[in-house]
């Protein structure tokens, strides 16, 4: 991709980023790999501001201890 050395930059407000993710989902994309310049600060911002909107949009199920599935397929 020409957009950024083989990547697709998601830039904007949390709402704009979720809109971009919705557009990517409509095209058939079902997963992403994320990277940040300032990992610790930007990861915290992602979790606090963007993830709730992603969950509200139905792009991801809410994560929490009650949603964790433990596989015991080896037994």
> What pLDDT score does 1 carry?
42
21: DSSP letter: H
pLDDT tens digits, one per residue of 8-59: 889 999 999 999 999 999 999 888 888 888 989 999 999 999 999 999 999 9
For the chain, give every domain's residue range.
14-67
Give the residue from 61, 54, 58 showing the smallest Cα distance to 15: 54
35: DSSP letter: -
Instruction: Output the six-digit token pair for 56.
Output: 């509200």
pLDDT at 70 over 80: no
Contact 45, 53 (CB under 8 A): no
- Write down the pTM of the prediction: 0.73
Instruction: Output the six-digit token pair for 17.
Output: 């980023």
Instruction: Outline where DSSP puts E strands in 1-75.
Output: none
């Amino acid at each position: 991709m020409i957009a950024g050395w083989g990547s697709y930059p998601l830039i904007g407000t949390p709402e704009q980023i979720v809109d971009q993710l919705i557009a990517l989902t409509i095209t058939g994309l079902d997963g992403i790999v994320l990277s940040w310049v300032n990992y610790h600060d930007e990861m915290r911002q992602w979790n606090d501001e963007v993830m709730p909107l992603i969950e509200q949009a139905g792009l991801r199920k809410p994560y929490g201890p009650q949603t964790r599935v433990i596989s015991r397929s080896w037994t």
